[in-house]
Structure formats: structure tokens, C-alpha cells
Amino acid sequence: MSNIKEIKNQLLNDSYYEIDHSSGYKIFVYPKENYSSSYAIFGTKYGSIDTIFRKESQESFTEVPEGIAHFLEHKLFESEELDAFARYAKTGASANAYTSFDKTCYLFSCTDNFEDSLEILFDFVQNPYFTEQTVQKEQGIIGQEIRMYEDEPGWESLFQLLRAMYHKHPVRIDIAGTVESISEITADLLYECYNTFYNPSNMALAVAGNVTVPQVLKIADKMLKPKESKKIERKFMEEPESVVEKTVIKNLSVSMPIFAIGFKEAIKTPVRSLKESVVSNLLLDIIAGKTSVLYEELLSEGLINTTFDTEYFEGYGYSAHIFTGESHEYEKVRERLQEYLKKVIENGVNEDDFNRIKRKHYGNFIMSFNDIDAISNSLIGSYFNGEGLFEQLSVLESITLEDVNNRLRSAINIENSSMSVIKQK
């Protein structure tokens, strides 16, 4: 018997349902009235950084080739008969999948035939089919993909920065791995990773839009297979506080140099709290968002253009505050950014700026509940992080100016930074 709990939010005047399914899977359903489409995502807490792990029954850690999570994602769409994309073509659903640093997700959106499409999703994700012959074929395909991304300036800029910042954490490796690492992948290794991470205790389904709980349960009861729960231990990589290199430059075909500047956070525990994440995102917007003093000065002086952006980049065992953009004078941008950060660290964040940005983030978060894609992905991400979907609202409400200044001074070390540059020869 499945256990169903309704979770409400008075401010939004909205609610969703959290279901502990009898199979052991966690299911979230967020019905949206007057929506014509539906969006479903079936995810596992298994990403590119999970290269060293241990199941509860094992004495020693298992180490697998880099890129295997992404490789597995590609292979799951195949079967002995019709692949999943061909099956979705018959229902009219638009399907996709992605592997990130910390999770792998399979998804579809549709306006009709929701139940048939959900059945396909459950079916192919739960029934892997790997042979040495198909693995070898995929090694060639993904090898080409890796080489292609090595020449993609934006992608290479990020991973060049991560390699410059991180000594040994696997976040420094491309999500797809390397041509060398994927050559070590075998069908047996794929089954080993699948049987470890594709487990009800490590997975969840989130559905939003024109759906009901009975609809989802009808297909879940029919398709979801109970499995024994497994505990997985991930190896926390002890990462030095220092960066590897201060500046790394690569030549690719670009009309203007692309830069990424990262301030590596020294962390002692593998996971950041929701509050730390929310405060860091506020902080970056206050320092260098589109309405900040720094952004307006750099833009008016022609040192940056409107591509300038920020990101709080964090996950299991890593964390950094990143600034990206395009500039012919990237060294000067770094210099100005560091000067500005020193000034703000010394004097503190302006209270008016703090209040304005806090209101903006609050409004943006509320507006995100109009987007069923964002809702479904947030439900999965929140669950894997051990949080509730609505928690960010209460955390955001509670944040003070003191919280922001404390985070600024503890998480950003001016000296502990790297810059990645992609420019024309």
C-alpha cells in the first residue's frame, strides 16, 4: 500500500503530493490546473563524480572509469527491440535525458498520451540491456562527442577552470569522461553501476502539469518493480584548499576571449546547507548582478558585455563562486573584481542592495512555480539534497544582512582563485 502525503504552501496557495510507493520508490505529483501539458522526470542520485563508491555489503570501495554515469545514460535508451525514442515517437511525447555532476535524469513532456509515455519511461529505465558489442559501438560515438566538446569554447572554459581549481576531486573531469577512460568501460561495469545506483532508495519520480495522483499511481502500480533497498557510501575526496593554477589559457576559434574566474571555497564537510546555497546566490547577485554597481561600471567602460554572469557552483565535496563573460581585457576584469571584493569584504554589503536583491529572488522563486519543467526538476533536486520543495521560501525569508556578510567573509578567499581563458591564437 502506498502512503500519500499532501504538502501545502499557504503563500502560493498551492500544494503537491509526496508518495512513498509500495515498490520503495519516492514519487512527487504536482497537479497544475488549466495546464494542457505534462512533464515527468525519473532520476537517480548518480552523477559523473560518483567514480568511487561502496555498497553496504562490500568491504572495499569500487573504482570505475570516469564518464561511466553518462555512458550508462546513453545505453539505457536501447533495448533488444525498439529503442525508447522510437517508442516515444508513437505517443507524441518529447523525450530527453541528462547526466550532471551529481544526478542522471530521464524525462519527457507531452500534451496527450501521458499514461502511455510514463509507462515507456518506467519500462526502459528499469530494463537495462548491455552487450560488449553495443558498448564498443557507443565508445566510438561518445568519443566523438568528447572531442567535439573539447572544441566548444563555453564548455571548455568551465572545465579548464575546474581543472585549474581542483587537484583531485572528480568534478575536474568532463561529465562524459575522456576518450581513454571510456575505453575501459565494459558491459559488466555498466551492470555493476546500474545495480548499485538505479535502486528505489536512490531514485525518485517527479511529475507536474496536467496530471492527477490516481493517473500516476495507476502506471506506477503496474510498472514499478520492488527491489531491495541498498545503502551507498560515496568517497569524500579530501581536496586541498589551494588552487592548482592561477591562470590557464587555451586557443580556440572565438571572436572575443571568453573568461571564467572562480573563487574556490575551502570546505570541511562534503555537503553545503540550503541556507549556504541561497545566501551565496544572493551574494553573487548583489556583487555582480545586472543591477550592481560593479556590473554597470565594467559595462560602461567596455570591459565586459551583457554575457557577463555569475554562478554558485556546488555539489558533493566542492564549492566555488564563479564569474563568467567575454572581454579583450580579461586580466583587467579580474583585477577590478578582486579589488571590489576586497572592498566589500572590508566594508560589508550595502543594506539597500541586500533588501532589493532579496525581494527579487523571492519574487523569482514564486514565479518559477508557473513552469512545470522547473517544478519537476526542483522536486528531484530538492529530494536528493534532503530538502522540501517549499523550504527555500522560508530560508529566504529568514536570511539577514549579517548572514550575507558572514558568508562573504568565510566563503570567498581572494587569493584562492583561478581564471580560465579561451581566446583566438
Tens digits of residue pLDDT in 63-79: 999 999 999 999 999 88
- Express each pLDDT in 380-399 by its tens digit: 999 999 999 999 999 999 99
In a domain, 239, yes or no: no
Q: Is-contact 316 102, C-beta < 8 A?
A: yes
> Which of 18, 73, 156, 326 is labelled catalytic?
73
* 141 and 275 share one domain: no
The yes-or-no answer on residue 63 being catalytic is: no
Average pLDDT, integer, range 83-98: 95
pLDDT band at 160 (very low <50, low <70, confident <90, very high): very high
Same domain, 200 and 291: no
pLDDT at 58: 82
pLDDT, position 185: 96
217 shares a domain with 269: no
The pLDDT > 70 percentage for the chain reads 100
Q: What CATH number is associated with residue 166? A: 3.30.830.10
| 263 and 213 fall within a common domain | no
Residue 240 belongs to a domain: no
**183 and 40 both lie in a single domain:** yes
Residue 82, pLDDT > 90, answer: no
| Predicted structure pTM score | 0.94
**Cell triple for 288:** 555582480
The pLDDT assigned to 81 comes to 74
Q: Residue 367's domain spans which residues?
A: 247-423
What per-residue confidence (pLDDT) applies to 116?
Answer: 97
- Predicted confidence at residue 425, as pLDDT, reads 80
**Cell numbers 554558485: residue:** 312
160, part of any domain: yes
Q: Is the pLDDT of residue 258 over 80?
A: yes
Q: According to the model, what pLDDT value does residue 234 have?
A: 87
Residue 400 falls inside a structural domain? yes
Same domain, 78 and 21: yes
Domain boundary among 202, 234, 266: 234
Can you give the pLDDT at residue 158? Answer: 96
Q: What is the mean pLDDT of the chain?
A: 95
Tell me what pLDDT residue 422 has. 97
Average pLDDT over residues 181-195: 96
User: Dihedral sign, CA of 74, 75, 76, 81?
Assistant: positive
Residue 93 placed within a domain: yes
Residues 230 and 276 in one domain: no
Assess whether 12 and 160 both reside in one domain.
yes
The reply to whether 242 falls in a domain is no
Q: Is the pLDDT of residue 80 over 80?
A: no
Phi-psi group of 24: left, alpha or beta (phi > 0 → left; psi -120 to 50 → alpha; rest → beta): left
170/289 same-domain check: no
> Do 209 and 278 belong to one domain?
no
In this predicted structure, the answer to whether residue 237 has a pLDDT above a threshold of 80 is no
- State mean pLDDT over 287-306: 97
Final residue before a domain boundary, out of 234, 268, 294: 234
Residues 260, 153, single domain; the answer is no
Q: What is the pLDDT of residue 236?
A: 76
Q: Which of 195, 212, 234 is the last residue of a domain?
A: 234
Residues 123 and 257 occupy one common structural domain: no
Q: Encode pLDDT of 346-378 as tens digits.
A: 999 999 999 999 999 999 999 999 999 999 999
What's the total number of domains in the chain? 2
Structure confidence by residue, pLDDT tens digits, 20-47: 999 999 999 999 999 999 999 999 999 9
In this structure, is residue 75 part of a structural domain? yes
Residue 212 lies in a domain: yes
Report, as an integer, the average pLDDT of 234-263.
93
What's the pLDDT band for 150 if we cut at 50, 70, 90? confident
